[in-house]
């Protein structure tokens, strides 16, 4: 059985619209995540039932569920929109997972709500498969993310440029509270609701600061720290979220909303995949800057709670932004040094790191494999410390046309490695340098097979490969490779 709680639905009415999902014509389960069901401690038997499929399609409502569409606002590409909200999603309720953590269960693509504006409230199968692949891939890489529990086809068409099969994704998240949720109440001058929301968030996500005298300031710092860690992880894995609007930034610090996101193959800091991001606002290398911008938005919503006088409050906001900046820079650098197997944040190591990035950029070397092959070299050095005899050296150098520069860099890098501890270093490198990421050409192939031919075998295969991104999986080595052409003209789309 499944029993839900509804703490968010118990908040004042201004927070949501009470609304049931719109029933669909014919619910057909196309994917269910039993591993996640086990991990959460949910009842597997129940999720194998016909009733569960009807619930995951929104055709049936559990007695314990009080479905709602959540209200939020947001800065989209820098412009404030005072009302967004769940225009095509419904929160079914919450449950406590096996580890004792409260989780949201939400249906996405579940029909129109008060917040739909001109939208149809529905989702097409392609983007839901995409969210499933990417969110699960991030999770298995060790990056906090909302999770995907199931996908059902609706038996109905959704109309975009052409008719497409409709689908509903069931998403599990620590919560769906966003920076934009705070902005929603500020836009309305509703200070009471803002305080209620803030206290709810502290209680639900940051209980450790509840008793602090300056708990509102500490909340900003806690959220800033979570985001600094998250965004630096994205960048250290070559991930580009693509639409870091404040309504897509989760207060809990999970990756959320996977419209135009994608992993970069060949290193270029200016990489943008989103078809609507004309000025590169959300480009790969701009993500730290944007996260800071978003944290500023978040901190500014709490001005009235921070201090009785405006100047003191504004100074605290500035302090929080600096705190973010510092945490982000540190987290990004330590993450990369870890990927290189270098412990110390010394001048020498920073220089090595910068040189590698320059080289990768100049040659548009594959981001993921550059690091992975360094791991492989280190693994060999643990057995035999002679770099010139390491077989993986060629794999690494082949990523660069200018062999000589790559060789020189390798030489400098290996002389900085503590070879007495090569075994341990190689172990820790192999935990942060994946062999398999969700490469765009593989993701597209899997989605197209499923979408056009109703053949989910590629999708299943990709999900399985990406669930073990650090393992060698020699049979699937092709999936670790970038596309043949370095001319990346891959485009992703929002509003799906
Ligand atoms: P997103 O770009 O997915 O972050 O969505 C931005 C806003 O548009 C949110 O308020 C969504 O609920 C809303 N939205 C996106 N697609 C639809 C749709 N098909 N129908 C209604 N609302 C939508
Ligand atoms: Mg969104």
Ligand 1 is surrounded, with C-beta below 6 A, by 84-88, 115-116, 119-122, 248, 257, 259, 494-495
As a whole number, mean pLDDT of residues 401-417 equals: 94
Residues in the chain: 496
Q: Check if 247 is active-site.
A: yes
Same domain, 118 and 199: no
Is 101 inside a domain boundary?
yes
Question: Residue 39: is its pLDDT beyond 70?
Answer: yes
Same domain, 107 and 148: yes
As a whole number, mean pLDDT of residues 302-327 equals: 97
Is 455 inside a domain boundary?
no
Question: Residue 494: is its pLDDT beyond 80?
Answer: no
Same domain, 215 and 328: yes
Ligand 1 centroid to residue 147 C-alpha, Å: 19
State what percent of residues in the chain have pLDDT above 70.
Answer: 100
pLDDT at residue 481, as a whole number: 98
User: Which atom of ligand 1 is nearest the CA belonging to 121?
Assistant: 20
As a whole number, mean pLDDT of residues 124-148 equals: 98
Question: Residue 377: is its pLDDT beyond 90?
Answer: yes
Same domain, 92 and 41: yes
pLDDT at residue 405, as a whole number: 94
Domain final residue pick, 139, 160, 176:
176
As a whole number, mean pLDDT of residues 249-270 equals: 96
As a whole number, mean pLDDT of residues 396-411 equals: 94
- pTM score: 0.98
- Catalytic residue, chosen from 165, 247, 257, 376, is 247
Is 369 inside a domain boundary?
no
User: Which atom of ligand 1 is nearest the CA belonging to 113?
Assistant: 21
Per-residue model confidence as pLDDT tens digits over 105-114: 999 999 999 9
User: Which tokens sit at 461?
Assistant: 């295969």
Is 442 inside a domain boundary?
no
> Confidence band (pLDDT; 50, 70, 90) for 182?
very high
Ligand 2 centroid to residue 302 C-alpha, Å: 22
Total of domains in the chain = 2
Ligand 1: residue of 16, 84, 178 to mutate (most ligand atoms within 8 A of CB) is 84
> Confidence band (pLDDT; 50, 70, 90) for 248?
very high
Ligand nearest to the CA of 77: 1
Give the residue whose CA is nearest to atom 11 of ligand 1: 87
Per-residue model confidence as pLDDT tens digits over 72-92: 999 999 999 999 999 999 999
Is 439 inside a domain boundary?
no
Is 215 inside a domain boundary?
yes
Same domain, 142 and 211: no
Domain final residue pick, 338, 358, 390:
338
Same domain, 58 and 207: no
pLDDT at residue 385, as a whole number: 94
Same domain, 35 and 51: yes
Same domain, 169 and 209: no
pLDDT at residue 288, as a whole number: 98
As a whole number, mean pLDDT of residues 48-61 equals: 98
User: Residues 352, 342: contact at Cβ < 8 Å?
Assistant: yes
User: Residue 264's Cα: distance from chain center in Å?
Assistant: 14
As a whole number, mean pLDDT of residues 451-480 equals: 97
> Confidence band (pLDDT; 50, 70, 90) for 488?
confident
| CA distance linking residue 176 with residue 193, whole number of Å | 17
Domain final residue pick, 127, 148, 176:
176
Same domain, 158 and 188: no
| CA distance linking residue 152 with residue 110, whole number of Å | 11
As a whole number, mean pLDDT of residues 129-138 equals: 98
User: Which atom of ligand 1 is nearest the CA belonging to 494?
Assistant: 2
As a whole number, mean pLDDT of residues 485-492 equals: 83
Per-residue model confidence as pLDDT tens digits over 193-214: 999 999 999 999 999 999 999 9
Same domain, 307 and 330: yes
As a whole number, mean pLDDT of residues 485-496 equals: 79
Give the residue whose CA is nearest to atom 16 of ligand 1: 495
| CA distance linking residue 8 with residue 93, whole number of Å | 8
Same domain, 219 and 317: yes
Ligand 1: residue of 87, 124, 258, 282 to mutate (most ligand atoms within 8 A of CB) is 87
Range of the domain at 300: 180-338
Same domain, 110 and 162: yes
Question: Residue 408: is its pLDDT beyond 70?
Answer: yes
């Amino acid at each position: 059985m499944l029993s839900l709680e509804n703490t968010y639905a118990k908040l004042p009415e201004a927070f949501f619209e009470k609304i049931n999902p719109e029933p669909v014509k014919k619910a057909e389960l196309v994917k269910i995540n039993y591993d996640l069901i086990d991990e959460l401690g949910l009842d597997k038997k129940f999720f194998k039932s016909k009733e569960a499929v009807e619930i995951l399609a929104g055709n049936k409502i559990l007695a314990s569920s009080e479905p709602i569409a959540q209200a939020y606002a947001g800065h989209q590409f820098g412009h404030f929109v005072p009302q967004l909200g769940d225009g095509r999603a419904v929160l079914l309720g919450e449950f406590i997972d096996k580890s004792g953590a409260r989780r949201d269960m939400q249906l996405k693509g579940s029909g129109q709500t008060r917040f739909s504006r001109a939208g149809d409230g529905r989702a097409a199968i392609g983007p839901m498969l995409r969210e499933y692949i990417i969110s699960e891939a991030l999770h298995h890489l060790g990056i906090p993310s909302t999770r995907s529990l199931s996908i059902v086809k609706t038996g109905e068409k959704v109309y975009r440029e052409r008719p497409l099969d409709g689908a509903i994704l069931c998403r599990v998240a620590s919560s769906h509270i966003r920076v934009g949720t705070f902005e929603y109440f500020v836009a309305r001058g509703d200070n009471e609701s803002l305080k209620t929301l803030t206290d709810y968030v502290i209680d639900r996500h940051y209980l450790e600061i509840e008793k602090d005298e300056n708990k509102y300031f500490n909340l900003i710092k806690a959220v800033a720290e979570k985001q600094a860690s998250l965004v630096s992880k994205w960048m250290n894995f070559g991930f580009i979220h693509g639409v870091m609007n404040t309504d897509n930034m989760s207060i809990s610090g999970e990756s959320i909303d996977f419209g135009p996101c994608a992993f970069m193959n060949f290193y270029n800091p200016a990489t943008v995949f989103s078809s609507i991001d004309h000025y590169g606002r959300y480009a790969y290398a701009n993500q730290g800057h944007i996260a800071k911008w978003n944290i500023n938005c978040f901190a500014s919503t709490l001005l009235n709670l921070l201090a009785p006088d405006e100047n003191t409050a504004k100074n605290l906001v500035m302090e929080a932004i600096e705190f973010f900046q510092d945490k982000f820079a540190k987290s990004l650098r330590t993450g990369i040094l870890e990927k290189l197997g270098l412990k110390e944040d010394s001048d020498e190591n920073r220089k090595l790191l910068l040189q590698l990035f320059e080289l990768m950029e100049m040659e548009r070397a594959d981001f993921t494999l550059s690091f992975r092959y360094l791991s492989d070299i280190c693994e060999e050095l643990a057995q035999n410390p002679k770099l010139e005899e390491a077989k993986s050296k060629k794999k690494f150098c082949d990523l660069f046309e200018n062999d000589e520069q790559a060789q020189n860099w390798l030489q400098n890098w290996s002389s900085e490695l503590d070879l007495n501890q090569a075994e341990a270093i190689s172990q820790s490198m192999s935990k942060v340098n994946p062999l398999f990421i969700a490469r765009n050409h593989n993701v597209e192939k899997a989605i197209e097979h499923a979408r056009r031919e109703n053949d989910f075998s590629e999708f299943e295969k990709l999900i399985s490969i990406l669930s073990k991104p650090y393992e060698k999986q020699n049979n699937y080595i092709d999936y670790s490779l970038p596309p043949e052409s370095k001319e990346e003209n891959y485009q992703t789309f929002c509003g799906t």
